Amino acid sequence: MKFETPLCPQCGEAARGTLETVPGVALVDMEKNGEATYTGETKIFWDDQTTQETDGKAWLICPQGHAWQTEWTR
């Protein structure tokens, strides 16, 4: 992949990575009456992670925690 703006517009550092969404299932103990209690565990589906985009632009994050959007090609 290639990013049009790989450096942070605020501090000038190179991007640390992309902002990602990772789906998962929060596990519950389900009672027959519909009452549920979270078990405190979430199963993450790492192979289904996706880069966050807005209007086709990827979100990047620098080591300082600044986030910005940029055009990109995959």
The amino acid that residue 66 corresponds to is: H
Dist CA 22 CA 47 (whole Å) = 8
Domain count, the chain: 1
Dist CA 32 CA 23 (whole Å) = 26
18's CB contacts (< 8 A; 6+ apart) are 51, 52, 58, 59, 60, 61
pLDDT of residue 38: 97
pLDDT of residue 1: 94
pLDDT of residue 8: 98
Which residues in the chain land under pLDDT 50? none
Q: Which of 40, 36, 39, 71 is nearest to 53 (CA)?
A: 71
Structural domain of residue 27, as residue ranges? 2-73
